[in-house]
């Protein structure tokens, strides 16, 4: 009788050790190794029977028909790169309770108008899903609900209902009987996802997987799933605010810079056609430290309010707190302001926040951060009709950024008639559009043009 071999696998990084150790030698996490059966060796070697489908020359592969399934919900279709491609695997990840199941159910109901859809929930019963569907006013004869945790039963349900789209909510609750480890462990998550991926590719079924995000911010079962699937979507948002951003992190079949903006309401997620207006709706006017920045999210310009507060510190070491912008970027810009303009932040706490829980990752937000910091430091408000964007370098120079025309047009649409932008951008822009642009080359220019030299 063969003896079952045991190994210990790190639940954080997947490292395999023949014996138990308290700390993973690879990722250095404590108590992350869990006992499991050793992977089977299939004993594959060269020289076996001929392949039924041998490798093909690229020129001989027939031209595929690119058919995308459109749901009709613009924000949803856009983040998927212009609709869902049959046979793709999409991972929808997000914090607990952010609205993943709600959004998915709504999206699936729209897809079910054209295709048969199977929604598998390992978390909620069929009755609970019915209650949610009633609240969202969803009713579809083509949307099948299956409350189950076993992967084998899901495959069976798929064979019986023959859906074009399958959704599994969530991948962490599903287990395969072939592995003797609990659901949610890294090997179960990886194994189940790989089997669902194979199902998607072999039978041309589009698969949605819902994934929970762990405390550390990675998709539980760590980032292994991100590599496996075709598209990774993150549903983000501040739980205290009603709007949610569906962000593409990876897309094998489309742009990975797109975002979709939704508002969470009693009747579910509602598309926000004009997010800039929503983000600016509660903006105070005539107060120092508040600036409107025009940032690009993929192909779409977005106006958001950036706020800075510079106030005398009561601590030995002043605080630097940033929400929605990178803390390192803030430190860097503070250092540039000190060096180039002689500002002194050593006795001041500095807080920066992007209103509405939006995250600004673009360097084009630099100039807005600088302007907000100057405004708060000098306690001088910025004109309400001014929109700001541009990158700032270590030498205090203001550098040009892309998509200038889209940014200016978006700002004009929302009533921002003046634009504080890099000189290189304004020179080229003024050839194309008639706009009131203040082109700046350095931080000194910013101080002179909108704060009259401080």
Ligand X SMILES: Nc1ncnc2c1ncn2[C@@H]1O[C@H](COP(=O)(O)OP(=O)(O)OP(=O)(O)O)[C@@H](O)[C@H]1O
Nearest one of 396, 423, 420 to 333, comparing CA atoms: 396
CB of 144 to ligand X, least distance (A): 19
Nearest one of 377, 147, 374, 405 to 296, comparing CA atoms: 405
Tokens 């980032």 found at: 223
Q: Alpha-carbon Rg of the chain, whole angstroms?
A: 26
- Expressed in angstroms, the distance from the first to the final Cα of the chain is 85
> 231-236 and 165-169: which strand pairing?
unpaired
Of the candidate spans 9-17, 97-105, 253-261, 410-418, the one that interacts with ligand X by CB under 6 A turns out to be 97-105
Position 96 contacts ligand X (CB under 6 A): yes
Q: Which is nearer to ligand X, 211 or 396 (CB)?
A: 211
Position 172 contacts Mg ion (CB under 5 A): no
Q: In angstroms, how far apart are the furthest CA atoms of the chain?
A: 87
DSSP class of residue 437 equals: E
Q: How far apart are CA 332 and CA 320, in angstroms?
A: 11
Q: Which is nearer to ligand X, 170 or 276 (CB)?
A: 170
20: left (phi over 0), alpha (psi -120 to 50) or beta: beta
Nearest one of 134, 87, 139 to 110, comparing CA atoms: 139
73 binds, among Mg ion, ligand X, none (CB under 5 to 8 A by kind): none
Q: Which is nearer to ligand X, 271 or 391 (CB)?
A: 271
99 binds, among Mg ion, ligand X, none (CB under 5 to 8 A by kind): ligand X
Tell me if 144 sits within 8 A of 161, measured CB to CB: yes
Of the candidate spans 71-79, 96-104, 360-368, 403-411, the one that interacts with Mg ion by CB under 5 A turns out to be 96-104
Position 425 contacts Mg ion (CB under 5 A): no
What's phi and psi for 105, nearest 5 deg? -60, -40
Position 342 contacts ligand X (CB under 6 A): no
Of the candidate spans 64-72, 75-83, 93-101, 251-259, the one that interacts with ligand X by CB under 6 A turns out to be 93-101
Position 247 contacts ligand X (CB under 6 A): no
Query: Minimal CB distance to Mg ion: which residue?
Result: 101
Q: Which is nearer to ligand X, 220 or 420 (CB)?
A: 220
Nearest one of 136, 76, 71 to 262, comparing CA atoms: 76
- Token digits for 321? 């707190």
Q: Which is nearer to ligand X, 121 or 348 (CB)?
A: 121
Position 99 contacts ligand X (CB under 6 A): yes
Of the candidate spans 59-67, 99-107, 412-420, 442-450, the one that interacts with ligand X by CB under 6 A turns out to be 99-107
Q: Please pick, from the candidates 101, 121, 276, 376, the single residue that binds ligand X as defined by CB under 6 A.
A: 101
Q: How far apart are CA 204 and CA 392, in angstroms?
A: 48
Q: Please pick, from the candidates 81, 94, 107, 396, the single residue that binds ligand X as defined by CB under 6 A.
A: 94
Q: Please pick, from the candidates 102, 185, 188, 307, the single residue that binds ligand X as defined by CB under 6 A.
A: 102
Tell me if 82 sits within 8 A of 75, measured CB to CB: no
Q: Please pick, from the candidates 9, 100, 175, 407, the single residue that binds ligand X as defined by CB under 6 A.
A: 100
Q: Which is nearer to Mg ion, 169 or 305 (CB)?
A: 169
CB of 452 to Mg ion, least distance (A): 54
Position 270 contacts ligand X (CB under 6 A): no
Position 71 contacts ligand X (CB under 6 A): no
Q: Please classify residue 78 by burial: count the beta carbons closer than 10 Å to its beta carbon, then call 0-12 exposed, 13-18 middle and 19+ buried.
A: buried
Q: How far apart are CA 103 and CA 84, in angstroms?
A: 15
CB of 122 to Mg ion, least distance (A): 10
Q: Please pick, from the candidates 101, 185, 376, 426, the single residue that binds Mg ion as defined by CB under 5 A.
A: 101
Q: How far apart are CA 338 and CA 115, in angstroms?
A: 60
Give me the residues that bind Mg ion (CB under 5 A), please: 101
Give me the residues that bind ligand X (CB under 6 A), please: 94, 96-102, 123, 135, 212, 264, 266
């Amino acid at each position: 009788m063969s003896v079952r071999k045991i190994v210990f696998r790190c639940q954080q990084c997947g490292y395999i050790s023949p014996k138990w150790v308290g700390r993973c030698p690879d990722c250095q996490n404590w108590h992350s190794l869990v006992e499991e059966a050793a992977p089977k060796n299939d004993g594959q070697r060269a020289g076996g029977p001929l392949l039924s489908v041998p490798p093909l020359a690229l020129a001989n592969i027939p031209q595929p028909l690119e058919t995308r399934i459109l749901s009709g919900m613009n924000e949803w279709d856009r983040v998927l790169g212009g609709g869902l491609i049959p046979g793709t695997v999409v991972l929808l990840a997000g914090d607990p309770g952010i609205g993943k199941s709600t959004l998915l159910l709504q999206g699936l109901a729209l897809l079910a108008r054209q295709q048969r859809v199977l929604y598998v929930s390992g978390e909620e019963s069929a009755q609970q899903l019915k209650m949610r569907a009633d609240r969202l006013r969803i009713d579809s004869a083509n949307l099948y609900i299956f409350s189950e945790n076993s992967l084998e039963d899901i495959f069976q349900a798929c064979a019986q209902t023959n859906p074009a789209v399958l959704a599994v909510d969530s991948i962490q609750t599903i287990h395969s009987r072939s592995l003797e480890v609990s659901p949610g462990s890294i090997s179960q998550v990886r194994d189940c996802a790989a089997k669902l991926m194979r199902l998607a590719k072999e039978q041309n079924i589009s698969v949605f997987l819902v994934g929970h995000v762990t405390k550390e911010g990675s998709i539980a079962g760590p980032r292994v799933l991100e590599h496996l699937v075709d598209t990774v979507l993150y549903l983000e948002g501040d739980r205290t605010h009603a709007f949610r951003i569906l962000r593409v992190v990876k897309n094998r079949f489309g742009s990975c810079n797109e975002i979709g903006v939704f508002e969470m309401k009693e009747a579910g997620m509602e598309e926000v056609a004009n997010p800039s207006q929503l983000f600016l709706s509660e903006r105070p006017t005539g107060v120092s430290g508040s600036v409107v920045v025009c940032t690009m999210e993929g192909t779409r310009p977005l106006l958001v309010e950036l706020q800075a507060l510079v106030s005398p510190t009561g601590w030995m070491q002043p605080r630097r707190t940033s929400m929605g912008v990178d803390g390192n970027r803030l430190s860097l810009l503070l250092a540039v302001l000190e060096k180039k303009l002689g500002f002194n932040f050593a006795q001041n706490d500095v807080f920066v926040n992007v209103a509405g829980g939006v995250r600004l990752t673009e360097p084009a937000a630099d100039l807005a951060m600088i302007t907000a910091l100057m405004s708060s430091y000098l306690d001088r408000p910025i004109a309400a009709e001014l929109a700001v964007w541009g990158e700032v370098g270590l030498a205090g120079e203001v550098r040009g950024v892309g998509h200038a025309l889209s940014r200016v047009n978006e700002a004009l649409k929302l009533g921002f008639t003046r634009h504080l932008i890099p000189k290189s951008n304004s020179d080229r822009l003024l050839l194309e559009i008639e706009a009131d642009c203040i082109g700046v080359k350095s931080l000194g220019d910013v101080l002179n043009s909108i704060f009259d030299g401080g």
